[in-house]
Structure 1
Amino acid sequence: MSIGGSRPHFIVFANEKGGTGKSTTAVHSAVALAAAGRRVAAIDLDTRQRTLGRYLDNRLATIRRTQTELPMPVHETFDPAKNDDLNAQLDRLAADAEVVVVDTPGRDDPYARQAMQRADTLVTPINDSFVDLDLIGEVDAETYKVRRPSFYAELVWKSRQQRAKTTGRTVDWVLLRNRLQHIEAKNMRRVGNALDELAKRVGFRVIPGLGERVIYRELFPSGLTLLDLQQLGNVGLSHIAARQELREMIAAFSIPEDGVEAMPQRAVAAG
């Protein structure tokens, strides 16, 4: 059940490792899609941390306090202690949405696995480090060549196979390559080469993510995003650059304007 009889597009942010900017990216994506005129619903599956839910609660409080109209997705937090039927909650949110954004916990979680099977676009943010890359594949310590895909890559592969078998639909797996300012150029190239090799073997595509910026942490209490420059005040060039990064990231997700089939693209490296 959905708007105009078409099924909404599910974009699921999933990574079993914390500290990759997953929730920050999910929040900004939900708001950016709402700002673009999409009807967006967002759900936070991390009942303990609840970063996405708290961020959007803060945004709603800012809207009410300032009486300012801002793009605002519908949002909920999944609580299995109250009702563990995740699919029913997702179906209810999807009934009045064009895009459903799902933020999952930064750990292995049965409900995250369940959500992954609903994904049209599966987004896995990682930082430019071999610590994060280890989530996707094991790398040789001397040659920096990929030895084998990791458990998580195999998990995603099985999830995609299951989805194709049960629904006949494809999943666009996107590796979101965030930038850490302290990473040296040589290390970035090595990570990029390893990602390029893994992309061909495992079947994801790599897109540029967001840079490491203090502004993301500073915006949390107000729930504002980089798209709300009029409300921020004292906007500098770094804010403009960060907003452009965000816009380019959303465009690279390639979410269809109508219809929900993920748009298969060849795996490419992001730099």
Structure 2
Amino acid sequence: MGQANVIVVGNEKGGAGKSTIAIHTATALLHGGARVAVIDLDLRQQTFRHFFASRAAWLEANGVTAPMADLYPLSDDDAALSKAPAEEAVARFEDAFARASASADFVLIDTPGADTATSSAAHQQADVIVTPMNDSFVDFDMLGVVDPVTLELKRHSLYAESVWASRKARAVRDRKQIDWIVLRNRLASTEARNRKRLDERVQALARKVGFRVGPGLRDRVIYRELFPFGLTVADLSPQIRPVAMSLQHVAARQELRALMTAIGLSGFSDELMAAE
């Protein structure tokens, strides 16, 4: 690849599944043979850093190997940096991003559930913005506003405005178009009528502001139970099997393949197919 492909996982609402999507995308890319650099802009929670620290510890303790991403923290103490002036945090991000993009095929950036200066700077560097949203009007409210009586779409909302501004800035600066995909995450198995209403509004907003809609990950136990080990379903093999295997794990792996295809990374899912 001539230069790093930058994937930003973003949504200004907390609890939408950004970090889950980010770590699964990262491990799928790693197993596809890509060099992956990760930057975690949630300076207090640091899910990426904890995940890969747990991964290194578990692999060493069990005498097995698995591909690792390169972490590019913004500082030695990101929690302290979160209290620093925005200008300092942005400068640290720009330095980390420059080093990451010079050494990797993909730079994967996980953003906090808030509008921050570093998150805005990251969005303007994106080639692809991936926005997970839970399957509810609560999450949709960050993307679009609906009429409380008719539920008809009225206009786009806060986060959609932020992405629009980032896409405009990137087009002016680099003459490049940012691809934006919204993932329907944690789909519920019930409430079919409400899901149909929501789907109609999501599709209407997609036509209005220009994003693609794809499948996310369901709320499966396997995604949660592998996290403490620093592992995902992409890692499972005869050598790496910290929990008992079941048909649910096969379904989860197929979901991850569908996610990679939706993002436009289907070429990196061969390892997932081979491992089934």
Same fold (TM over 0.5): yes
Cα shift at 1:184: 1.1
Tell me, yes or no, if the aligned pair for 1:46 and 1:78 is still in contact at 8 Å: no
Cα shift at 1:18: 0.8
- Which position in structure 2 is the counterpart of 1:48? 44
SS in 1 for 2:216: strand
Distance 1:16 1:109 in 2: 9
The reply on whether 1:21 has 2:26 as its aligned counterpart is no
Superposed CA deviations along residues 95-129 of structure 1, whole A, max 9, x for unmatched, are 11000100011111110000000000001100110
- Which position in structure 2 is the counterpart of 1:161? 168
Percent identity reads: 45
Tell me, yes or no, if the aligned pair for 1:42 and 1:101 is still in contact at 8 Å: yes
| One-letter identity of the residue aligned with 1:48 | R
| One-letter identity of the residue aligned with 1:176 | L
- Which position in structure 2 is the counterpart of 1:94? 101
Selected match of 2:252 from 242, 262, 266: 242
Cα shift at 1:68: 1.0
The reply on whether 1:73 has 2:69 as its aligned counterpart is yes
Cα shift at 1:183: 4.6
Selected match of 2:124 from 108, 117, 121: 117
Alignment coverage as a number of residue pairs? 253
Selected match of 2:114 from 107, 110, 117: 107
Distance 2:264 2:256 in 1: 13
Tell me, yes or no, if the aligned pair for 1:12 and 1:103 is still in contact at 8 Å: yes
Distance 2:154 2:39 in 1: 36
| One-letter identity of the residue aligned with 1:75 | L
Distance 1:152 1:117 in 2: 14
SS in 1 for 2:71: strand
The reply on whether 1:129 has 2:125 as its aligned counterpart is no
Distance 1:187 1:243 in 2: 27
Distance 2:53 2:190 in 1: 34
The reply on whether 1:217 has 2:227 as its aligned counterpart is no
Counting helix residues as a fraction of each chain, which structure ranks higher?
2
- Which position in structure 2 is the counterpart of 1:204? 211
- Which position in structure 2 is the counterpart of 1:227? 234
SS in 1 for 2:172: helix
- TM-score with structure 2 setting the length: 0.87
Selected match of 1:254 from 251, 259, 264: 264
Matches within 5 A, 1:27-38: 27-38=23-34
- Which position in structure 1 is the counterpart of 2:271? none
Tell me, yes or no, if the aligned pair for 2:127 and 2:178 is still in contact at 8 Å: yes
Distance 1:192 1:71 in 2: 37
Structure 2 unpaired stretches of 5+: 268-276
Tell me, yes or no, if the aligned pair for 2:54 and 2:230 is still in contact at 8 Å: yes
Distance 1:68 1:195 in 2: 43
Selected match of 1:195 from 169, 194, 202: 202
Would the alpha carbon gap of residues 48 and 243 (structure 1) be closer, same or farther in structure 2, given more than 3 Å must change?
A: same
Cα shift at 1:256: 9.1
- TM-score with structure 1 setting the length: 0.89
